[in-house]
Amino acid sequence: MSEILSRLAETLESRKHADPDSSYVAKLYAKGLDSILKKIGEEATETVIAAKGGDKSQVVYEMADLWFHSMVLLAQQGLHPDDVLAELARREGLSGLAEKAGRKDGA
């Protein structure tokens, strides 16, 4: 799985310098952070609606869109999927309650 994420991350990185008229991702980068965040919000909402609808194939489709746009955000922020995977690995085996209690903001 991480190979797919790494390949996608490389593609997203390369789109930072692409012509916005020739690349959807380059267009998102050109529009800036607020546009990327808005797209993530839209995709999260669509994922929730799909889950409520009970169609598993639609959930997968919408989740793929959500992950994709989240990866656009990571790249825009100078981060890589491996950063998120490392955080998940750090949390592995921790109680969710203990992990949450240990956060700086308590959220």
Report, in angstroms and rounded to the nearest whole number, the Rg of the chain calculated over CA atoms.
16
With 90 as the cut, is the pLDDT of residue 100 above it?
no
CB 93 within 8 A of CB 30: no
Per-residue pLDDT tens digits for 69-89: 999 999 999 999 999 999 999
Position 94 scores a pLDDT of: 74
| CA-wise closest residue to 33 among 1, 76, 62 | 76
| CA-wise closest residue to 16 among 25, 7, 3, 5 | 25
Per-residue pLDDT tens digits for 3-47: 999 999 999 999 999 999 999 999 999 999 999 999 999 999 999
| CA-wise closest residue to 40 among 59, 68, 60, 17 | 68
